[in-house]
């Protein structure tokens, strides 16, 4: 009889311990899953915002440096003495501020060199660099 009571007590204590452990770890595990889901969602939102901003930058550069067809299939860039419009400066865009910390050192160096040129002489090169960098981030973050 004493052994049956001991078995019952041990079983009850084991059940109590495992129930307590389960009730403590389940919310923690759920919290971890929720954090991953929120991080992924935020990253998808950033990628979408960056792509939209890069598209707007490309359109602003194209408008600031119109091109005329040139015989032989080339294009002639029309330049003026006016300064480049602010829409063509990626560093002044809100979306760029969220992208900048994620840019590689090589891309930052290339962007710095390109920013020293007038839009007419670099049209499309900054958006191309930024779009490639966003694609790299998307792969690194395993969003594709």
- DSSP letter string over the chain? -HHHHHHHHHHHHHHHHHHHHHHHHHHHHHHHHHHHHHHHHHHHHHHHHHHHHHHHHHHHHHHHS-EEE-TTS-EEE---SSPPPGGG-GGGSHHHHHHGGGS-HHHHHHHHHHHTS-GGGTTTHHHHHHHHHHHHHHHHTT--
Q: In this predicted structure, what is the pLDDT of residue 46?
A: 97
Which residues, 6 or more positions from 23, have their beta carbon under 8 angstroms from its beta carbon?
none
| Radius of gyration of the CA atoms of the chain, in A | 29
Which residue from 81, 92, 93, 71 is spatially nearest to 120, judged by alpha carbons?
81
Q: Is the pLDDT of residue 111 over 90?
A: yes
Q: In this predicted structure, what is the pLDDT of residue 31?
A: 82
Mean pLDDT across the stretch 109-136?
92
- Taking phi first (over 0 means left), then psi (-120 to 50 degrees means alpha), and beta for anything else, what does residue 20 get? alpha
Q: In this predicted structure, what is the pLDDT of residue 114?
A: 93
Mean pLDDT across the stretch 37-65?
93
pLDDT over 70, % of the chain: 83
Distance (Å, whole) CA 62 – CA 29 = 50
- Chain segment 52-106, per-residue pLDDT in tens: 999 999 998 888 876 666 667 666 566 666 677 777 788 888 999 999 999 999 9
Region of poorest pLDDT, from 23-27, 73-77, 122-126: 73-77
């Amino acid at each position: 009889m004493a052994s049956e009571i001991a078995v019952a007590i041990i079983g009850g204590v084991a059940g109590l311990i495992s129930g307590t452990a389960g009730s403590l770890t389940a919310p923690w595990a759920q919290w971890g899953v929720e954090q991953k889901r929120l991080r992924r969602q935020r990253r998808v939102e950033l990628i979408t915002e960056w792509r939209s901003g890069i598209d707007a930058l490309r359109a602003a550069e194209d408008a600031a440096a119109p091109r005329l067809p040139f015989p032989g299939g080339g294009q002639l860039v029309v330049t003026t003495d006016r300064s480049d419009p602010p829409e063509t400066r990626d560093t002044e865009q809100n979306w760029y501020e969220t992208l900048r910390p994620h840019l590689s050192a090589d891309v930052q160096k290339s962007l710095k060199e390109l920013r020293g040129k007038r839009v007419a002489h670099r049209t499309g090169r900054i958006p191309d660099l930024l779009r490639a960098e966003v694609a790299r981030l998307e792969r690194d973050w395993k969003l594709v």
